[in-house]
Structure 1
Amino acid sequence: MTELLTQGASIADLATAFAASPNPYLLLTPDLRIFDVNQAYLDVTRSHRPDLLGRPLFQAFDSGPGQEAPENVRQVRASLEKARDTRQRDHLALVRYSLPRRLDGCREVFEERIWSATHTPLLDAEGEVVLLLQHTMDITDLFPAAPPDEPTTALDAIVGGSVLRRAQSVQEDNRRLEKERNRLVEMFMQAPGFVAILSGPDHCFQMYNAAYGQLIGHRDIAGKPIREALPELAGQGYYEFLDSVFATGEAYEGRESLAQLQRRPGAPLENHYLDFIYQPIRDEAGQVVGIFVQGHDVTENVLAARRQKSMIDELNHRVKNTLATVQSIAIQTARSHRDPSTFAQAFQARILALSHTHDLLTRTHWEGADLRAILEHETEAFGPTRFHLNGPAVALAPATALSLGMIFHELATNASKYGALSTPHGRVLVDWGVADQTAPKLKLSWRELDGPKVTPPDTRGFGSRLIERNIRHDLAGEIDLVYGKDGLIAELMVPLDRTPAL
């Protein structure tokens, strides 16, 4: 019928040919309902047109109550569905299918018949299946009718027995092979790693699974050569690897290989690290005809390993610098405190201040700390009424946080010994803000109120040296100390876009 359509035959001509054909024909809708039948089909099935039209095929013909009936139905249904889904003609060389027959005009029995069937999809202009044409032939009479115990002649064996049994055996073998192929294809498509089959020297995509589609951004690459399907791989070596495997027949394996893929049109290239193998596919003559691609996207593992190495390197650096800081604190504290008891007290307080800031940074995985949190840590020992903190949230880099934590500890310690916190009613006001948004700087004011009059010290102690070293050297900032009648005023400016050495 499809050939007649291409030759321009009219619908009326087709309908006439369909109805008059001596071959049994049945037309089915895609959901396997009977759309039309010709007279030859009605004759061979002993049916009536009104009883069939519109009914599901396997309700009209169910192959009877026998044990083999479900398998008979399954074979016919599978062939029809294959023709519909693949849009390709499908053949059933042999299928046993029982039909009802009335005896004595009333009693119904099922008579086993042997059929050969061809199922052809009929497509519309858009290539969609609109009907399925079933052409069936009753070949029961070709089988020998001799009783089981009666030997058959050689001619019977050739014509009626062996040939047909061989045909049936071939069909069953093909059916088993198709089932196995379908299972393999299903395993292929559901494989957790990406898999693809490339055909020919141009490496055309013959098949690929969902994981491969996800890797490349679900592009339509079926049937396309790889240079057209994945043009962004040019210059990355993958075309050349495939060419080499096809030419030499030697497999190629890649480990943590960088592939830059454009997963969306117009989007930037994304880095993916892949473990993969290109395995040659050979034909019966041993010639390479394609390449089997299999692998895994190990990007997360590679990045995690790099992050871990970076963290270990960073940790080693921090530990060394922390030990150097502790050593400096110990030496400088010893110079200022000859008495072992006062040395231990001052040394322990400074180490605890360093530890507090470390705790804050650990909570954020050493990504930084908030300025207010550091101030609260260093001043909480004096109670909530002695300090007034006023300023916006300011995120500090780890090194800046460590330096400021030590500075605030020294300022608070000096205030408790000599300044506003040494009196019952003294207070400390801390105000801060961020100046110059193009090159942001932290501007902070430490102002002591209601304390004793303070004067510049005759000698610079460790606290003063630590503050000045941290501000000017470590933070590349500035500090101005004013010794007033109510207490110390410290004005400091620290750049926030600088990453000091840890």
Structure 2
Amino acid sequence: MRILAKTIDLVAAFDASPNPYMLLDSDLRYAGMNQAYLDVTGMTRDELIGRPVLEVFNGGPSEDGPENARQLLASFEKVLTTGAPDNLAVLRYALSRKDKYGEIVYEDRYWSCTHTPIKNNGGRVTHILQHTSDITELVRLRGQMKRLRPEGRSTALDSLVGGGVLRRALTVQADNRRLETERRQLLDMFMQTPGFVAILNGPDHIVQMHNGAYGQLIGHRDVVGKPLREALPDLGHQGYFDLLDDILATGEPLMGHERAVELQRAQNAPLETRYLNFTCHPIRDEAENNVGVIIQGYDVTDTILAAERQKLMIDELNHRVKNTLATVQSIAMQTARSHEDPRSFAETFQSRILALSHTHDLLTRSHWEGADLRAVMEHETAAHGPHRMSLNGPHVALHPATAVSLGMIFHELATNAAKYGALSPGDGRVMVSWSVQDDAAPSLHILWQEVGGPAVVAPERRGFGSRLIERNVRHDLGGQVQLHYRDDGFSAEITMPLQKDAA
């Protein structure tokens, strides 16, 4: 009962106070007010409870109305954000009332406001208590004194009504508004800058604040208010804590260029290597003591990885160009040995270079990641018509070097068949079948078989085509080849190892 009596006394005292008070909830809606507040506003509790304060006091129709409403809202938001009281020394705000004809009119009034936070047990601001003093008559009296006094001189009465105090209050309030605007603009710039920024305080390097780019770098971990060793323990073995200690001890800044750092950027994820360009500068107080460190920089990981990929591509390109030139040189030398006539040499050499080009075209389409065995065969035998070629086998992905070697082999087989075998004029056909054997150590078996063509006899000497086939299979592909010259047609059997991913 004693507690209840005290509560009733406090409510009664609040309502009986001659000074206007009102209470807002965290959504800035009216939660209560005393009788003095109702008297000065000319409104009732039913008209105010639950309504947004800026709906009731919107600044009025004057030119200054929006700015006055903005100042009031800014003060409320500051209390909610900081949990500390805020004062408006002088606020010009119009009150609405009804004239004798029932029309709404606005009367300019001047107020001095104090906004005090009310917090729950957890420290969160739940309400704002506003105490206002109507200083309209004081402002008006000061204006009258200013008009009556001699130019440039203050009177005792002017000082008595607070002219100097009021003038200084207005100046301080204007400066505070300007500084608050500048602070908010700087904070917005800080948060939106594309590079990462973090501010560390004290010898424990407590994270005071950081921007969005820094949050993204560290995996959006909750680090504000924590010592860096606790917030980012994954840095412990990388020497960065010692570097920060040295900056505080010596006051010397530190720069890092493309420096590797390992960070856990997602919960339970492994450490990820990022490359950073950064600077760390000491923060000094008025006595020139080192009190903190500011870190700023850029994540250049994508640039580093792109440069590495480019180097790998250039190295691979150089390797392929050397191999291609060596192949072209070999083709030219071997073709020249077999063709003394320049015209026949040119035709044969050109056809073999075109065969090499066809396979390169296939590989280019896949960005040199490989080519399908059937596609290589179709490219090298397309000139002889699909009705004379029968291709049968599973999908086999060939690595680039394997595709180039098999492309040259199929070209030589098809050229030989067109000159002497089943693809020469007549009704002969070529049947090509292939299969992959032994999943543990996969090998590719290819059978090239010609039927329906002229009788075939073994050549008295090996030509360039036979030598190229045997050399490519044995040396380049690490396999075995058997060439059969029978009365019923030529056949070739090729067996070669495959990498498991190709199979």
Residue 117 of structure 1: aligned partner: 113
CA separation in 2, counterparts of 1:335 and 1:284? 89
Aligned twin of 1:353: 355
| 1:4 alignment partner in structure 2 | none
Distance 1:370 1:136 in 2: 84
User: Which shifted more, 84-93 or 371-380?
Assistant: 84-93
> Which secondary structure does the structure 1 equivalent of 2:252 belong to?
coil
Question: What is the letter of the counterpart of residue 149 of structure 1?
Answer: R
Q: Is the 8 A contact 2:90 2:170 kept in 1?
A: yes
Which residue is 1:79 aligned to?
75
Displacement of 1:185 in angstroms is 0.9
The CA distance in 2 between the partners of 1:483 and 1:364, in whole Å, is 37
Note if 1:416 corresponds to 2:418: yes
Instruction: Give the structure 2 partner of residue 97 of structure 1.
Output: 93
* Letter of the 1:473 counterpart: H
Aligned to 1:392, the other structure's residue is in SS state coil
Give the alignment of 1:29-48 within 5 angstroms. Answer: 29-48=25-44
Q: Corresponding residue for 1:477?
A: 479
**Which AA in structure 2 matches 1:295?**
G
| Distance in 2 between residues matched to 1:407 and 1:63, nearest whole Å | 89
Note the 1:57-456 alignment, pairs <5 A. 57-100=53-96, 110-125=106-121, 128-140=124-136, 142-143=138-139, 144-145=141-142, 146-151=144-149, 152-154=154-156, 156-157=158-159, 160-456=162-458
Length, aligned pairs only: 493
Cα offsets for 1:197-256 (capped at 9, x unmatched): 222222222111222212222111111222222222223333233233222222222222
1:3 corresponding residue in structure 2? none
Normalising by structure 2, we get a TM-score of 0.90
Flag the 1:102–1:266 CA change in 2: closer, same or farther, 3 A.
Answer: closer
Alpha-carbon displacement from aligned partner over 1:100-129 (angstroms, at most 9, x marks no partner): 567779787644433222223334455554
* Residues 357, 374 of structure 1: 8 Å contact kept: yes
Q: CA deviation at 1:22?
A: 4.2
Q: State the SS of the aligned residue for 1:173.
A: helix
Paired letter, 2:234: E
Name the stretch that deviates more: 45-54 or 367-376.
Answer: 45-54
The question of whether the paired residues in 2 share the 8 Å contact of 1:249 and 1:288 is answered with: yes
Is the CA contact 1:233–1:239 (under 8 Å) kept in the aligned structure 2? yes
**Structure 1 Cα separation of the partners of residues 347 and 199 of structure 2:** 73
**TM score, norm. by length of structure 1:** 0.90
- For the structure 1 residues 346 and 100, does the alpha-carbon distance in structure 2 shift closer, same or farther, using more than 3 Å as the test? closer
Structure 1: which 5+ runs fail to align? 1-6
| Cα distance between partner residues in 2 of 1:127 and 1:392 | 71
Secondary structure at the residue paired with 1:385? helix
Structure 1 residues 434 and 150: alpha-carbon distance in aligned structure 2, compared to 1, 3 A threshold? same
Identity over aligned residues, as a percent? 61
> Residue 441 of structure 2 contacts residue 500 of structure 2 at CA under 8 Å; is this kept in 1?
no
Change (3 A) 1:158 1:364: farther
8 A contact 1:35–1:53 mirrored in 2: yes
Q: CA RMSD in A?
A: 2.7
Give the aligned residue type for 2:87: H
Any idea what the Cα deviations from partners look like across 1:268-322, whole Å, max 9, x if unmatched? 2222222222222222222222222222222222111111111111111211121
Q: Which moved more, 1:308-317 or 1:53-62?
A: 53-62
- What is the alpha-carbon distance in structure 1 between the residues aligned to residue 445 and residue 459 of structure 2? 25
| Runs (5+) with no aligned partner, structure 2 | none
Q: CA separation in 2, counterparts of 1:9 and 1:286?
A: 56
